[in-house]
Amino acid sequence: MKGIFPIDKFRSLRTPFYYYDTRVLRDTLAAINSEMSRYDRFATHYAIKANANPKVLAIIRESGMGADCVSGGEIRAAIRAGFPASKIVFAGVGKADWEINLGLEYGIFCFNVESIPELEVINQLAAARDKVANIAFRINPDVGAHTHANITTGLAENKFGISMRDMDKVIDIALGMKNVRFIGLHFHIGSQILDMGDFIALCNRVNELQDKLEARHILVEHINVGGGLGIDYTHPNRQPIPAFKEYFATYAGQLKLRPHQTLHFELGRAVVGQCGSLISQVLYVKQGTKKKFAILDAGFTDLIRPALYQAYHKIENITSDEPVEAYDVVGPICESSDVFGKAIDLNGAKRGDLFALRSAGAYGEIMASGYNCRELPKGYTSDELI
Ligand SMILES: *Cc1c(COP(=O)(O)O)cnc(C)c1O
């Protein structure tokens, strides 16, 4: 065992694989619950899309969180993991009829509706089943998040949500429908947000919109501010627990919740990011003309974030104490973008060494693909490897 990893156990497993440290996950969930319990009427939902590994989901469900789903498949995964339908919210710009029907059949808590045509379809499908669907409107607040362009979602140019200008109109349409019940407003401005100022900007926008609604004597029961809290990719050991205290305190201080309103959060990355590592073996160390390459058996098919968002993951050679050298750490996929890091200082590497790509619990295993006819990586929890 070097540091936090059971190396001996790793040696008997086929690489690459994901390793989930359940102590980190449980500590994270405990921190969420203890920070949230300072405030009345706060509710959290785990964004299943960050990681749907059944063993991880089971631990999250035990903590009491609800589930935030963006597809029918995710609703199924949530139900299978034991999340109660009464705590499932369903978002997404393109909900197919079968996915809406699945949500209706389970009687999920709320559909977060992103357009008028979607509202009409939900009303029709609910009518055909003689049901009334709870709906919230996802409003695009035109608030920028200081994060990578591919993961901002709350700008007017993004495809998500209904524009603020159309809010009154869509509410009037919903209020005239028999098979939907308008219960709330939903927002989500982006991901990997570390600047609380971005969340304050959202709070200010929600306050403005609530004032407008109040002027029309409309009071919704639920405000859902989405997720987006970021994690410290640079220092996973020093900062394994995200800034939940500041996060919840920001909303408690800035968002003017009306009496009897519940404030919902949808956290993904912040829940699972730090508990996961991608473990990979060095296949070859190659001396190039200018630099050394450590060629891993993991590629972007296993962890796509560096190739897709130029994301940084801390890389460690967990089986070497040799003097530090600089390596370009690359995968075996036949694409030039299959690079995990350039000029990374690592303990001297040789064939067979194990590398850990840290902070890979969110948007890692779940985004794996079979490109190059590669097998999907497996995921193991520390509980299983004891
Ligand atoms: C992705 C997503 C989330 C979770 O985002 P994180 O940045 O992982 O916290 C929450 N809500 C919605 C609607 C999402 O699409």
Q: What is the pLDDT along the chain (386 residues), one digit of tens a residue?
A: 456 899 999 999 999 999 999 999 999 999 999 999 999 999 999 999 999 999 999 999 999 999 999 999 999 999 999 999 999 999 999 999 999 999 999 999 999 999 999 999 999 999 999 999 999 999 999 887 666 666 666 666 677 889 999 999 999 999 999 999 999 999 999 999 999 999 999 999 999 999 999 999 999 999 999 999 999 999 999 999 999 999 999 999 999 999 999 999 999 999 999 999 999 999 999 999 999 999 999 999 999 999 999 999 999 999 999 999 999 999 999 998 999 999 999 999 999 999 999 999 999 999 999 999 999 999 999 999 98
pLDDT at res. 147: 64
- Compute the distance from residue 227 Cα to the ligand 1 centre, in Å: 5
For helices 72-80 and 54-62, give the axis angle rounded to 10 degrees: 70
pLDDT at res. 1: 44
pLDDT at res. 152: 64
From 28, 160, 188, give the residue whose CB has the most ligand 1 atoms within 8 Å, as the site to mutate.
Answer: 188
pLDDT at res. 343: 97
273 CA closest ligand 1 atom index? 8
191 CA closest ligand 1 atom index? 7
Name 278's bridge partners: 18, 357
CATH class as words, domain 2-15+274-381: mainly beta
pLDDT at res. 301: 98
Distance of alpha carbon 180 from alpha carbon 313, whole angstroms: 44
Q: How long, in residues, is the chain?
A: 386
Return the CATH fold of 22-273: TIM Barrel (3.20.20)
pLDDT at res. 155: 66
Distance of alpha carbon 144 from alpha carbon 34, whole angstroms: 29
pLDDT at res. 292: 97
C-beta of residue 18 within 8 angstroms of C-beta of residue 363? no
- Compute the distance from residue 240 Cα to the ligand 1 centre, in Å: 19
- Compute the distance from residue 143 Cα to the ligand 1 centre, in Å: 15
From 28, 45, 49, 363, give the residue whose CB has the most ligand 1 atoms within 8 Å, as the site to mutate.
Answer: 49
Q: Where in the chain is the domain with CATH 2.40.37.10?
A: 2-15+274-381
Q: Which residues contact 115 (CB under 8 A, 6 or more apart)?
A: 93, 162
Query: Which residues surround ligand 1 with Cβ inside 6 Å?
Result: 47, 49-50, 68, 70, 91, 188, 191, 226-229, 266-270
Q: Where in the chain is the domain with CATH 3.20.20.10?
A: 22-273
From 44, 266, 267, give the residue whose CB has the most ligand 1 atoms within 8 Å, as the site to mutate.
Answer: 266
